[in-house]
Amino acid sequence: MTDQQGAERKLPDPAELSRTMASIAETSQRLVADFLARQRDGDKDQDPDPLNIGQAFFEMTARLMSDPAKLVQAQMSLWQDYMNLWQATARRMMGQESAPVISPQPEDRRFKDAAWQENELFDFVKQSYLLTARWVQSTVSQVEGLDDKTAKKVDFYTRQFVDALAPSNFALTNPEVLRETVASNGENLVNGLKNLLGDLERGKGRLAITMTDPQAFEVGKNVAITPGKVVFRNDLIELLQYEPTTKDVARRPLLIMAPWINKFYILDLREKNSFIRWAVAQGQTVFVISWVNPDEKLATKSFEDYMVEGPLAALDAIEKITGEPDANVLGYCLGGTLLAATLAWLEAKKQAKRVASATFLTTLVDFKEPGDLGVFIDEEQLQSLEAKMAEKGYLEGAHMATTFNMLRSNDLIWSFVVNNYLLGKEPFPFDLLYWNSDSTRMPAAMHSFYLRKMYQENLLSKPGGIKLNGVPIDLTTIKTPTFILSTREDHIAPWKTTYAATQLYSGKIKFVLAASGHIAGVVNPPESKKYSHWTNDKLPADPDAWLAAAKETSGSWWPGWAEWLGQFANGKVAARKLGAGKSKALGDAPGTYVKARS
């Protein structure tokens, strides 16, 4: 090694490295002891397979072994891929040009480090993993004779397994981690173990991965800061009314109903990306439902209660405050599912005129094809979940958060494992991930009804399939003018499934498809000039046919929605001042319910 090379690549001091490794071993020992103690004290009666994965894989293995010829053929195909890879790698090592046998998808950020391409060894490790992953997933997906639910469960958990074994997730096969370990004399691993221990302690024995700096944000201080007041409160909601920023406003008020699985401030993160602030600036009198973070006292609250004490109570309060007998209502995700049920209930009660227009953002009402979330819904898993909820009267918010994170495990689990535990870094402050970590609980009665009647039995889309307050509801009776927004890469509410609503409702419908996913496709302010959206006035039964004839427009869908909503403004009035007339304030926005953490 030349003097110049030695200066560029200083080897770690052996004594210092020894002390570092001893510290790692000591930290590891405490971590394991603490984890085992928590498991012994708190989880000895835990169901070993609450997700009923074992039976699904047993059935898959039995089917796979029943056709040994196909298995041998698959193994020979993998062997041929390995031979091609070895030959390509050998050519590279001899200085020859060689095209990769397999490459990661463009959106796969696990292999973005240059060494995965430039170093022959790491390139071999990467391609070997990608070939094996492709072989495993294709072999499993081609097993015949499995019922649809079992096949989807096997496919989903196979992907989880494959993602977990990526070489980027291990210190010795991740070039970035190896460089950092040498450069810091192993300090990154010590810091990583400290981060791991901290996350285990924070999760009380369950690994609660820190995704962002929790001290960087505070609800009401630098997120959820649009000025407003709490103007109504009951057991389930605080109703927020926001201060106007225009001289005149639409006569008809706007009610926004976010899902109670997460907190409403996804629509009010910061000034630059707040949908609520933007809607106020468009001359809307904006009211928002902030759902309570329920505890055991609300265990018996039902889906009906969420309707009566949610949108119906909010509409009553808005009428008292503004004097307007109706409102435009927007529902996001599960909030949209409740909105659809409420509209059908109002139709049955001859009160449909209380809602002048309805906007649905990424909303499922037909659960026939719910995407990957469907793998969590079968009788065995529901019984296990109901038994867990019966212990406290609610489902812990962390349980739901883990489920959603698994839908994008590389982005929402393994990237943080590498950053926090292998590189030993602190997570970057990010408002969206702070909101994502601010999970909410689910009352046992409501959540069981929702999962069984909608996800498992798909009764909401069937006329009379569900009764609310003793009234059978039928979505096909809904005549309210409707705006439906879906997002193309949605992993929670697949757009082709949400499109089914266009074939259910009887009123005039406008369907818009936005680029990106469940959050980024919705929270897309015009100023960001990101993503595009598609429109098509015709609504054929086939969503692919709709998209094939749709027109693509660059930028946010927000202005188009505002133009559509303008049809239902019912004229203009002077901006409504908060605290005037019957709108007695109970406190400042964002209120108290949103600040209760799980």
Catalytic (active-site) positions: 333
Q: For residue 308, give Cα distances in angstroms to 303, 338, 469.
A: 9, 11, 9
583 alpha carbon, distance to own chain's centre: 35
- Contact residues for 369 (Cβ-Cβ < 8 A; gap 6+): 494, 496, 497
| Residues whose CB is less than 8 angstroms from the CB of residue 517 and which lie 6 or more positions away in sequence, other chains included | 487, 489, 490, 491
Q: For 354-404, give the secondary structure using H, E and C.
A: HEEEEEEECCCCCCCCCHHHHHHCCHHHHHHHHHHHHHHCEECHHHHHHHH
| CB atoms inside a 10 Å sphere around CB 210 | 19
Question: CB under 8 Å to 250, separation ≥6 — which residues?
Answer: 283, 284, 285, 566, 569, 570, 571, 572
Within 458-596, where are the H helices? 495-498, 543-548, 558-565
Distance, first Cα to last Cα, the chain? 56
Q: Report d(CA 302, CA 521) in Å as an integer.
A: 31
Place of tokens 């193309």: 488
Partners of 472 in beta bridges: 467
C-alpha 588/C-alpha 227 separation (Å) is 8
d(CA 299, CA 293): 11
